[in-house]
Structure 1
């Protein structure tokens, strides 16, 4: 286990991979920019560049030679609180401003065809990320939250095997690091928890080519269990602390179809087992602190299409519904989340031998969530409504040799 420092990874890498979640809770779907324009519909079946290593490693069998894909997504969420009757022991004044802000989430992948039937791949990505920080540390909800941050980096070697022209299988191993921090105010001073760890997981997938114009993909990413080790501080007192956390597993079912010479259609159904995250129990020398999540399992539905405008240019669009794992009774100021709808647009430009560029944009509409969160044994209750939304912009370069 790692102590509460940044020594697990160079600090600059962790900063680059910090993210403010745009999918439900603090999951990050933004693992490429080529799928952003279709709201990630068909993510486990499209397999048109090396980023399939993340979504479905079996998709590498659709690629030839050596393929490289790298990109970055900028995520800009907005979480603005409006007070509606908060009571008890509260902060100073003000609603805390925008607790969101822009963050960069880079990614990189490659795949290599070893033989007609065997493929190797590798990916670096950030499956989960969260960053909320209220502008005023003395805001009305300071007892509930001031800063909350989770950073993950995932290293994903993969292998794929083409069984025949109809069936391909893929498997990957995941080495994932996590770095977490959360703070809030108490009558005894600032409460702060910092911790990090690394752990192993796995992912697998299958790709079924039903016809030259239709593919169906299924994929699964396992849960990853951590034991965060670091420090727990309360005012001027600090002590070593541990906390177990299990990030959820995800299942994806995707379809891709070539409708005509110019049109492609794709769809996605995904399920994330968020119920693995119930309570965070922080064990330290003087007792145990509990941060409640009470998350429920969630679903995501997406549909998208692509239109080949010219031999080198595609236009993309998509829509998705992403259900939150939290409820009105359990929503917290750390993750003021709610159901969201993705509206996505994108474009692809194939320059030929010099590679392919993808540009995508999504606007995330969130139904404004309400909050009724009590802390300090009920002595402080934050009541109100959040104004939530997000913008996502992505750029990706892919090339084959």
Structure 2
């Protein structure tokens, strides 16, 4: 029974890290509409996230961009061998706020607040995969003060620290068949609040001509340290009540370092195109060690993620002094290898289709609209590392639709 508890808690904490690895690429309405490109684009305070070096090239002394999106995700699961079917429909609300201020001709300061990681997945309670997950709700907010220094007319550098804070709540059944005396499935909920960590971002921007910008940005690995998390058992059978007692746990949950490079080209005075390449260093996440505070031994669970790439293209067209239109596309590789595919965040390779526009209310104020449709490739895969050695798998189909709105202000 002690082994069962140890492995169960381990799998739950690992799931938390995987959910954190589900990258929410909605960090600005203008740049999202352009395929989430931005490392070599300077058109609003959103550059504080995409490449802080670009803040030095903003034309206005003060810039503010605030936005939010509604994220509607759908996942369908089927295992034709056992005639299993399940679905999960969830809603998220990622948001962002950016501000920049030119202190001197060569120095600009900024602040970025955004939600790059998060997950909300809720399956039916006691479904066929409930021994892996019933539901999960992960929230993470990043706060990033930055500075940008312009060196001449063509080159700038920028960066700053990142403070990450978040919380997680997760529920799953302990096994496929463990119940109390009334037949209720025994489950465990873990809850951790006040998870925090520090990282940093740094980048540069180079403008070799009036039409071309080159950009580079690096975000460091951030390890979210869950300390004194609560583990609560429900519907425990009488014979296990002395073992399956509520306890606390500690776990380190890594978020990978990222490198993004790209370019933008001003084809005409009205037409801009951009390309970004993002490389996420997920290979740093090989396993997760979990320490329990009730005497259970430390558990280690291999994950063996692989590094992954994202390719992004976007375009912007200024139709007139009132309307600017945008569109984009990106291909995002999954870091999850075969045999590690679990239903808490069923992510596979995906393609994102984006569009949007800005309506300029005045020369200072604009309203930004964006729309993202994210299509995940259908996949037939499994999770092969459950504590009893069994495998759970089937066919997953997933998609995301996310409309967004924001405002941009500058003077």
Q: TM-score, normalised by structure 2?
A: 0.85
Q: Deviations over 1:226-258 (max 9, x none)?
A: 221212234452111101121111111021111
Which residue, out of 143, 152, 155, partners 2:131? 143
Residue 252 of structure 1 contacts residue 271 of structure 1 at CA under 8 Å; is this kept in 2?
A: yes
Q: Deviations over 1:24-51 (max 9, x none)?
A: 951122111111211112x111121111
Q: Deviations over 1:334-356 (max 9, x none)?
A: 12110001111111222223411
Instruction: Report the counterpart of residue 11 of structure 1 in structure 2.
Output: none
Instruction: Report the counterpart of residue 167 of structure 2 in structure 1.
Output: 179
Instruction: Report the counterpart of residue 27 of structure 2 in structure 1.
Output: 31
Instruction: Report the counterpart of residue 111 of structure 2 in structure 1.
Output: 122
Aligned pair count reads: 371
Which residue, out of 346, 371, 377, partners 1:367? 377
Residue 32 of structure 1 contacts residue 73 of structure 1 at CA under 8 Å; is this kept in 2?
A: no
Instruction: Report the counterpart of residue 191 of structure 1 in structure 2.
Output: 188
> What is the SS of the residue equivalent to 2:85?
coil
- The alignment's C-alpha RMSD in Å is 2.0
Instruction: Report the counterpart of residue 96 of structure 1 in structure 2.
Output: 86
> What is the SS of the residue equivalent to 1:335?
coil
Instruction: Report the counterpart of residue 51 of structure 2 in structure 1.
Output: 56
1-side partners of 2:269 and 2:148: how far apart? 29
Residue 190 of structure 1 contacts residue 234 of structure 1 at CA under 8 Å; is this kept in 2?
A: yes
2-side partners of 1:289 and 1:181: how far apart? 20
1-side partners of 2:189 and 2:67: how far apart? 34
1-side partners of 2:280 and 2:389: how far apart? 34
Report the Cα offset of residue 279 of structure 1: 2.6
Residue 328 of structure 1 contacts residue 370 of structure 1 at CA under 8 Å; is this kept in 2?
A: no
Pair 1:393 & 2:403 matched? yes
Residue 85 of structure 1 contacts residue 383 of structure 1 at CA under 8 Å; is this kept in 2?
A: no
Q: Deviations over 1:168-221 (max 9, x none)?
A: 010111111121222211226212222242111110110101111111110011
Q: TM-score, normalised by structure 1?
A: 0.87
Report the Cα offset of residue 96 of structure 1: 3.4
2-side partners of 1:177 and 1:101: how far apart? 22
2-side partners of 1:74 and 1:246: how far apart? 26
Higher mean alpha-carbon deviation, 306-315 vs 227-236, is at 227-236
Instruction: Report the counterpart of residue 41 of structure 2 in structure 1.
Output: 46
Residue 339 of structure 2 contacts residue 384 of structure 2 at CA under 8 Å; is this kept in 1?
A: no
Moved >6 Å (runs of 4+): none
2-side partners of 1:398 and 1:36: how far apart? 14
Q: Deviations over 1:30-84 (max 9, x none)?
A: 111111211112x111121111111111111122211111000221121111123
Residue 25 of structure 1 contacts residue 324 of structure 1 at CA under 8 Å; is this kept in 2?
A: no
Aligned positions of 1:325-344 closer than 5 A: 325-344=335-354
Which residue, out of 293, 310, 315, partners 1:305? 315
1-side partners of 2:360 and 2:302: how far apart? 48
Aligned positions of 1:310-325 closer than 5 A: 310-325=320-335
2-side partners of 1:146 and 1:316: how far apart? 39
Residue 317 of structure 2 contacts residue 324 of structure 2 at CA under 8 Å; is this kept in 1?
A: yes
Instruction: Report the counterpart of residue 158 of structure 2 in structure 1.
Output: 170
Instruction: Report the counterpart of residue 362 of structure 2 in structure 1.
Output: 352
2-side partners of 1:223 and 1:317: how far apart? 30
Report the Cα offset of residue 288 of structure 1: 3.7
Instruction: Report the counterpart of residue 255 of structure 2 in structure 1.
Output: 247
Ranges in structure 1 where 5+ consecutive residues have no aligned partner: 1-19, 87-92
> What is the SS of the residue equivalent to 2:344?
coil
Pair 1:257 & 2:257 matched? no
2-side partners of 1:166 and 1:260: how far apart? 20
2-side partners of 1:290 and 1:343: how far apart? 38
Which residue, out of 297, 303, 310, partners 1:293? 303
Residue 154 of structure 2 contacts residue 206 of structure 2 at CA under 8 Å; is this kept in 1?
A: yes
- Give the structure with higher Rg (CA): 2
Residue 375 of structure 2 contacts residue 399 of structure 2 at CA under 8 Å; is this kept in 1?
A: yes
